Amino acid sequence: MSENKILIIEDDTDIREGVKLILTSEGYTVDEAENGLIGLEKIDDRTDLVILDVMMPGISGIQTCKKIREFSNVPVLFLTAKSGESDKLMGLMAGGDDYLPKPFSYAELLGRVKALLRRYKVYQGKAETGDDGAILESGEIRLDTSSMEVTVNGKAVELTDLEYRILTLFLSYPKKVFSAQNLYESVWQEPYLYTSNGTVMVHIRNLRTKIEKNPEDPVHIKTVWGKGYRFE
């Protein structure tokens, strides 16, 4: 029996109950909320994943995700009837980790859920990583792989698991140019598709806002036009 706790925030009762049935049959502990406000009240330090509908009355999924990011780095999987690239990027910019358009298959949902939970377990130290720990530093940025703590100028910075993985990769190979495909396949550990470029771009943007003094003129994460990104 899995100990993972998943919260579904979805206003459509049929979809919410269907997703719950799929997840409970796999051994997950599942809680539900029919709107964003109720969902925000139910998130606590035992929540391992939030499945969040984008289009909801009252507070939207995008707004709900932004509020979640004010107090938690729990992974967020968006469910939406919109499958356009701009809608996907909007969700990622709000702090979402992945995006699943409706209708979706059971296998596709479970695949996304398991991938997000696996990454989150490692990031939170809830699974053995085999890493004895190391300190990675560059200027004012310091990353401790044993505690998974990141500081900038001595101040702790809260990163999502994907942002942490990207930064770890950059700090491990300074000055190496990573293409969007390199980053996606190394961090997300999934095959790269054309639309994956936007996903990488948004996460780089979010990471810059957290570690760069001026995200619009970054000192560390440089864009190498036509090639990818380099950390200095």
pTM of the prediction?
A: 0.70
Residues 32-77: tens digit of each pLDDT: 999 999 999 999 989 999 999 988 888 999 999 999 998 998 999 9
| Rounded Cα distance, 201 and 197, in Å | 6
Question: What residues contact 73, with CB distance under 8 A and at least 6 apart?
Answer: 158, 159, 160, 161
Token code pair at residue 79: 């469910």
pLDDT, position 221: 95
What are the domain boundaries of the chain? 5-123, 135-231
CA 102 to CA 180: how far, in whole Å? 26
Asked whether the beta carbons of 60 and 34 are under 8 A apart, the reply is no
Phi, psi of 50, deg, nearest 5: -115, 125
3-state secondary structure of 178: strand
| CA 80/CA 54 separation, integer angstroms | 5
Confidence grade of residue 129 (pLDDT, cut at 50, 70, 90): very low
Type and span of the H or E element at 5: strand 5-9
CATH class of 135-231: mainly alpha
Please state which architecture CATH assigns to domain 5-123: 3-Layer(aba) Sandwich (3.40)
Backbone angles phi, psi at 169, to 5 degrees: -65, -45
41 φψ region: left (φ > 0), alpha (ψ -120 to 50), beta (else): alpha
Point out the least confidently predicted range of 21-30, 66-75, 81-90, 199-208: 81-90
Task: Quote the tokens at residue 66.
Answer: 């932004």
What stretch of H or E contains 170? Answer: helix 161-172
Q: Six-digit token pair at 80?
A: 């939406």
Report pLDDT digits (tens) over 137-183.
898 999 988 778 899 999 999 888 889 999 999 999 989 999 999 99
Q: Would you report the helix, strand and coil content of the chain in percent, each value rounded to 5? A: 40, 20, 40
Helix H or strand E segment including 182: helix 180-183
Kind and range of the H or E run holding 180:
helix 180-183
Q: How many CB atoms lie under 10 A from the CB of residue 208? A: 19
5-123 shares its CATH topology with 135-231: no
